[in-house]
């Protein structure tokens, strides 16, 4: 059976932020953290949906608006966190919009939302994280990061946009960021743990999202049914992320250990050669600071 959420310790007195916590694996992550005693902030784009999700959770849960595709929204959300922050779960994500689209700040939507939004959020929340005794940041990547290459530095330009490839680049960026954050925290002597995780392939609402794969009516209505037959649901997909957020060692990458890392017990996940490229990670860090206009308060 391996690790399961029942092994999470008492989180009383700790505060956690989970992005995209109104549905899918994010909802399960937030519910488990709250059930184990944490004060949990559901950071969501759709506040009504977030409130509906919160009603089904036990414990101290509140909802706050966060649109990762808007750096102004990221700033506003960060300014609203006024207490020490023990855990940040960079969970929210957008998958494979069929056409090239941009954030309000002019970045390709997947790269801007999945990576740049979380990069900026982590930077802006770092002072609150460092007020906690043992702060943790967990960033959700994907097995799709193997599609990514060093072209991740280009931020998915319109002339080369392919939905699946762009998604893979954004997920490679997530993994590069998480691992580089730990290296920089170590060099700075900070008591900060940064981990990464991926859910495998879970049957969640992400595939039905009309802004992504779900733009196709057949995919939106048929694929979720087929996935529910053979794949774990949101609770199963959340398990590696919860392990990374609560128990995993600094600088690790966690996922399911079954064939192809699609499902199975929690364990160490495989990384592409680009994900292991520390020079690429450092260059992406610099590009991300430039694109967001937010200097990250952890020097290289």
| Catalytically active residues, by annotation | 167
Q: How far apart are CA 89 and CA 86, in angstroms?
A: 10
Among 255, 274, 292, 271, residue whose Cα is nearest residue 138 = 255
The set of residues, in sequence order, having a beta carbon less than 8 Å from that of 57 and lying 6+ positions away, is: 30, 31, 34, 35, 40
Say which residues have a Cβ less than 8 Å from residue 21's Cβ, sequence separation at least 6: 27, 29, 30, 40, 42, 43, 44, 50, 53, 91
């Amino acid at each position: 059976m391996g690790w399961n959420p029942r092994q999470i310790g008492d989180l009383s007195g700790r505060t956690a932020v989970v992005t995209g916590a109104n549905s899918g694996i994010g909802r399960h992550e937030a519910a488990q953290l709250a059930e184990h005693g944490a004060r949990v902030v559901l950071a969501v784009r759709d506040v009504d949906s977030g409130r509906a999700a919160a009603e089904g959770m036990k414990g101290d849960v509140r909802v706050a608006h966060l649109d990762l595709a808007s750096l102004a929204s990221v700033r506003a959300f960060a300014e609203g966190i006024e207490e020490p922050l023990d855990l940040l779960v960079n969970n929210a994500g957008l998958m494979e919009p069929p056409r090239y689209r941009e954030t309000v700040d002019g970045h390709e939507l997947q790269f801007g939302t999945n990576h740049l939004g979380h990069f900026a959020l982590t930077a802006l929340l770092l002072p609150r994280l460092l007020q906690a005794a043992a702060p943790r940041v967990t960033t959700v990547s994907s097995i799709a990061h193997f599609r990514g290459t060093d072209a991740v530095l280009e931020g998915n330009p319109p002339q080369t946009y392919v939905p699946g490839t762009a998604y893979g680049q954004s997920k490679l960026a997530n993994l590069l960021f998480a691992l580089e954050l730990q290296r920089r925290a170590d060099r700075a002597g900070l008591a900060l743990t940064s981990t990464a995780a991926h859910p495998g392939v879970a049957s969640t609402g992400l595939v039905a999202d009309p802004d992504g794969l779900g733009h196709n009516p057949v995919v939106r209505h048929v694929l979720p049914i087929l996935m529910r037959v053979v794949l774990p649901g949101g609770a199963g997909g959340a398990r590696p992320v919860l392990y990374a957020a609560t128990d995993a060692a600094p600088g690790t990458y966690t996922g399911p250990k079954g064939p192809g890392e699609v499902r199975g017990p929690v364990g160490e996940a495989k990384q592409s050669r680009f994900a292991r490229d520390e020079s690429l990670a450092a260059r992406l860090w610099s590009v991300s600071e430039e694109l967001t206009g937010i200097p990250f308060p952890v020097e290289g």
